[in-house]
């Protein structure tokens, strides 16, 4: 299957006004793609549209809630009306919940699935019907947590497991009928975006991403690579890849690591009352924010991911992945030890 180069494409992108989606929109437009932008926040969306158009790009803003099939049908119709076609559809919109599963309400859990799972299902099926005509790429944003669950974000993990199952099944069905569509699942590690600010939290303190943490540009690079090159799936970040492998080959040991390190590793000392906003139900923030202000080290690139996309240096990718796992485990272990020493001192 041959896909068009980015500068010849029309790309539809959900969740376009924040984090990974925002970086991808700007990067794609900068490389010459026409971008169809969708998100719930009308003001932020149209400011991004104007920014791209004023800088010489081509952008079309179409406000939509991905949980509404009719909203996404309108997005597809607008893309066809404005540009005559679209070549790539990226299902990126998502939200999380921090808290023990026994504490999270069914209403909140169902709302998370409306966005993370049903929003992606809506977008995928609408995109597939259109892409069957002229071909193209469907790109779904899963997570490292599509493979390996962690505590305190159980419902998010469940939704990303569901995303993986749906994407794999859809890929097989499209391949069986020889539809000219490349279907890619991208699995990011922890990324420095406003993810935790948008999430709903039941914690008594502010949540934080556990290391290693990567820049959103690493995911945007992977998305645009998949838009132009058929690839089944992409892990972004060696830490995420090796966590997935640890969960597969040493599940009990990985469970113990999660229980001892990951629960406290997702908590800060900052009271929950200082949370600026959340957007499980409504987009309460109109900023165009790429980063989440992670205070630790943020990896600006992923050598593992770059290597994994080129088979002739796959062996180097494995070596880098092992190094990423060692780094992640050592950072988590040291954080846990420091926390226990602090508790002892108090």
Could you read off the pLDDT of 90-129 as tens digits, one per residue? Answer: 999 999 999 999 999 999 999 999 999 999 999 999 999 9
Residue 273's pLDDT band (boundaries 50, 70, 90)?
A: confident
Per-residue three-class SS string for 81-133: HHHCCCCEEEECCCCCEECCCCCCCHHHHHHHHHHHHHHHHHHHHHHHHHHHH
Q: Which of helix, strand or coil describes residue 265?
A: helix
pLDDT above 70 (res 344): no
Residue 343 confidence (pLDDT): 41
pLDDT above 90 (res 331): no
Q: 205-207 and 267-271 as β-strands: parallel, antiparallel, unpaired?
A: antiparallel
Q: Tell me the average pLDDT of the chain.
A: 91
Active site residues: 156
Residue 314 confidence (pLDDT): 52
Say which residues have a Cβ less than 8 Å from residue 155's Cβ, sequence separation at least 6: 97, 101, 104, 108, 109, 112, 113
CATH fold for domain 6-345: Rossmann fold (3.40.50)
Contact 28, 251 (CB under 8 A): no
Rounded CA-CA distance 102/81 in Å is 47
Q: What is the mean pLDDT of residues 46-62?
A: 98
The CA–CA distances, whole Å, from 279 to 68, 97, 196, 199, 286 equal 16, 10, 10, 6, 11
What is the model's pTM?
0.89
pLDDT above 60 (res 328): no
The CA–CA distances, whole Å, from 271 to 70, 204, 296 equal 40, 6, 19
């Amino acid at each position: 299957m041959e896909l068009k180069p980015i500068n010849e494409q029309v790309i539809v992108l959900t969740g376009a006004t924040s984090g990974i989606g925002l970086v991808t929109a700007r990067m794609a437009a900068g490389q010459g793609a026409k971008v169809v932008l969708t998100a719930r926040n009308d003001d932020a969306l149209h400011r991004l549209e104007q920014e791209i158009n004023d800088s010489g790009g081509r952008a079309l803003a179409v406000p939509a809630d991905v949980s509404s099939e009719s909203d996404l049908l309108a997005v597809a119709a607008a893309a066809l009306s404005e540009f005559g076609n679209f070549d790539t559809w990226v299902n990126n919109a998502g939200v999380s919940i921090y808290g023990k599963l026994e504490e999270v309400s069914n209403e909140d859990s169902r709302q998370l699935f409306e966005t993370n799972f049903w929003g992606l299902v809506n977008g995928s099926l609408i995109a597939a019907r259109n892409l069957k005509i002229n071909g193209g790429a469907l790109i779904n944003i899963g997570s490292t947590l599509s493979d390996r669950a962690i505590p305190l974000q159980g419902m998010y993990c469940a939704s990303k497991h569901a995303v993986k199952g749906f994407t794999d099944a859809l890929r097989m069905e499209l391949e069986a009928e020889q539809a000219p569509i490349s279907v890619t699942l991208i699995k990011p590690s922890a990324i420095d975006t406003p993810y935790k600010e948008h999430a709903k939290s039941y914690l008594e303190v502010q949540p934080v991403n556990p290391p290693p943490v990567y820049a959103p540009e690493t995911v945007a690079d992977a998305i645009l690579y998949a838009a132009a090159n058929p690839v089944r799936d992409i892990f972004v970040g060696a830490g995420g890849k090796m966590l997935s492998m640890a969960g597969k080959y040493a599940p009990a040991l990985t469970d113990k690591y999660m229980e001892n390190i990951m629960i406290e590793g997702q908590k800060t000392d900052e009271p929950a009352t200082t949370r600026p906003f959340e957007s499980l139900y409504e987009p309460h923030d109109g900023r165009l924010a790429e980063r989440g202000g992670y205070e630790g080290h943020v990896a600006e690139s992923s050598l593992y991911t770059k290597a994994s996309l080129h088979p002739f240096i796959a062996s180097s990718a494995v070596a880098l992945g092992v190094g990423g796992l060692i780094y992640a485990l050592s950072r988590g272990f040291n954080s846990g030890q420091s926390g226990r020493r602090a508790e002892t001192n108090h």
